[in-house]
Amino acid sequence: MGELISASNLQKSFGSLRAVHGVNLRVNAGEVVGFLGPNGAGKTTTMRILTGFLDPNDGVVLLNGISIAEDPIGARRTFGYLPEGAPAYPDMTVREYLHFIARARGMPRRDIATAVEGVATRVHLRGVLDQVIETLSKGFKRRVGIAQAIIHDPPILIMDEPTDGLDPNQKHEVRELIRTMGSTKAIVLSTHILEEVEAVCTRAIVIANGRVVFDGTPSEFEAKAPSSVTRNRMDHVFRVMTGSGVEAST
Amino acid sequence: MIASGAMSPWRTILRREFRSYFATPLAAVFLVVFLFSSGIFAFSLGGLYERGQADLRSFFQFVPWLYLFLAPAISMRLWAEERRLGTIEILTTLPVPIWHAVVGKFLAAWLFSILALALTAPLWITVSWLGDPDQGAIIAGYIAAALVAGIFLAIGGFVSAITKNQVIAFIVAIVACFLVLLSGFPLVLNFFRGWMGSGAIDAIASVSVLTHFNSLMRGVIELRDLVYFASGIVGALVATALVVDWRKSA
């Protein structure tokens, strides 16, 4: 299966702060990559560079072979994106919003109603389709964000904390959805939850201080823990790789 | 390239924006304030009746002053709101060229202010019924008023693109529009006269909205004036697109 995401040597500084420092990333179709890292490690910045929302100081991003810098519109057609916090227009109904996204993505008008119904079924939004977004609970808003990211069935999915704010049942549903889509798409998601990586990801990438400190399967990640550690082994590895001494001891 | 049957992106954005005015009480408040105050100005201050002439000069002469406050009230949210909500991250990662978003938003705001203007038609009808006004002058007056709204909204949209604070966007836009409105008048010119050459002073004087507005109001639609408004609007929109693209993540 082809390489859908290719990012080489990404660099990004904000003033004197080096947010992303030489990140490389290759993701093939059929892979679900989990981005792990403490807050402020550079996960969101990296995802924003992948989607072209931020311009890197250096480095190249190719999405399905298209350069985001040279052909931004062509590259943006290849992915769906759930930004941090799942922003949406609060004064629109879910249906109006999804129609707007589908239209802006150039979907033929006759296909839009079907696509909206289909995606609403997949992420369990049917009951709130005609509700105004600002009246929705956090979990529903997150699902609206996921719906707008997958409505056009893109080959690439980039999701910043897709399960944040969901209750355990909703988390389970979203993970199932991601796992299903992961068989054919290239998916990158970020999370704080280590068990999530185990549950849905085929690969884990750990970022700390803007650098990739681990890239491998979740089981390889867990195997890094010494055999003396018997409980929360992933947490242990994560703390050793990313944490300062203070954080590791708390 | 847009799939057949798809709406071009600027129209999609125009539609969403235009509807959003009516999703909140903003539209109603704006229209009521506009109609009420234009009526008061025309009758009380302008002496529409007392002048005993069947024309709308007493109405039109206050329109630039009304728009000075009301256009920034519309334009302040254009981009600042997208930044505050975070939806700018969705908008700028959709496969839509930035100028489509800029033009779509501007046209929505402009159409809305033209709608407000159109609702003053009863004045026109009354005057035409009571007397025999110079219809050409009235049409020229409406065109001039619409152009003033356009240039103020384009300037206000630019200001809105540089901040996420709508109050700042509102106040700075009023100041900017005020300077452009009166740049041909001693109040503004004297400020620059101390430290600028006469060539620069003439250049500043020639960008006065009021000068061109009054020229159109005489009932003669001159190319010079149309070029002035068109280039002012286009210039502000280009600047907006550059700022949005440059500071989209700011």
pLDDT tens digit string along B175-186? 999 988 888 777
8 Å CB contact between A36 and A197? yes
Q: What are the pLDDT digits (tens) for A73-92?
A: 999 999 999 999 999 999 99
Mean of all residue pLDDT scores within chain A:
91
* Average pLDDT of span A104-110: 93
Position A249 pLDDT exceeds 60: no
Instruction: Band the pLDDT of A246: cuts 50, 70, 90.
Output: very low
Cite the beta strand spans of A37-78 per DSSP E.
58-63, 66-67
pLDDT at B4: 54
Q: Which residues in chain A are closer than 8 Å to B19, comparing Cβ atoms?
A: 96
Does residue B153 or residue B203 have the better pLDDT? Answer: B153
Q: What percent of chain A has pLDDT over 70?
A: 97
Chain B, residues 18-57, CB within 8 A of chain A, namely 19-20, 23-24
* CATH C-level class of A3-78+155-249: alpha beta
What are A34's strand-pairing partners?
A189, A204
How near does any CA of chain B get to the CA of A159, in Å? 12
| Chain A residues near any Cβ of chain B (below 8 Å) | 48, 51-54, 73-74, 76-77, 81, 83-85, 87-92, 96, 100-101, 103-110, 148
Determine the Cα–Cα distance for residues A10 and B53; give it in Å rounded to an integer.
71
**pLDDT reading at B220 higher than 90:** no
Q: Please say if the pLDDT value at position A144 is more than 80.
A: yes
pLDDT level of residue B170 (50, 70, 90 thresholds): very high
- For residue B197, count other CB atoms closer than 10 A to its CB: 10
Q: Does residue A40 have a pLDDT over 70? A: yes
| Least CB–CB distance from A89: residue in B9, B87, B97 | B87
**DSSP character string of chain B:** ---TTPPPHHHHHHHHHHHHHHHSTHHHHHHHHHHHHHHHIIIIIS-TTTT--SSSHHHHTTHHHHHHHHHHHHHTHHHHHHHHHTTHHHHTTSS--HHHHHHHHHHHHHHHHHHHHHTTHHHHHHHHHHS---HHHHHHHHHHHHHHHHHHHHHHHHHHHT-S-HHHHHHHHHHHHHHHHTTTSHHHHHHHHTTS-HHHHHHHHHT-HHHHHHHHHTT---HHHHHHHHHHHHHHHHHHHHHHHHTTT-
Which residue has better confidence, B74 or B195? B74
| Gap from B250 CA to chain A (nearest CA, Å) | 10
Of B6, B24, B90, the CB nearest to A91: B24
Mean pLDDT of the A15-41 span: 92
Question: How far does A55 lie from chain B, in Å, by closest CA?
Answer: 9
Element (H, E) at A248: helix A245-249
- If you average pLDDT over residues B2-12, what whole number do you get? 74
Amino acid at A168: P
B93 vs A contacts (CB less than 8 Å): 51-53, 76, 81, 83
Q: Is B48's pLDDT higher than 90?
A: no
Q: Which residues share a beta bridge with A67? A: A62
Q: Among A133-147, A235-249, B8-22, name the one with the lowest average pLDDT.
A: A235-249
Domain range list for chain A: 3-78+155-249, 88-153
How would you label B238-248 residue by residue, b for 16+ Cβ within 10 Å and e otherwise? ebbbebbbeeb
Q: Does the pLDDT value for residue A233 go beyond 70?
A: yes
Interface test with B, best of A20, A81, A89 (most B CBs within 10 A): A89
Mean pLDDT of A14-22: 90
B207 pLDDT above the threshold of 90: no
Chain A nearest CA to B17, separation (Å): 10
H or E segment to which residue A22 belongs? strand A17-28
- Average pLDDT estimate for A187-191: 95
Q: Do B13 and A85 touch (CB under 8 A)?
A: no
What percentage of chain B exceeds 90 in pLDDT? Answer: 52
User: What pLDDT was estimated at residue A250?
Assistant: 33
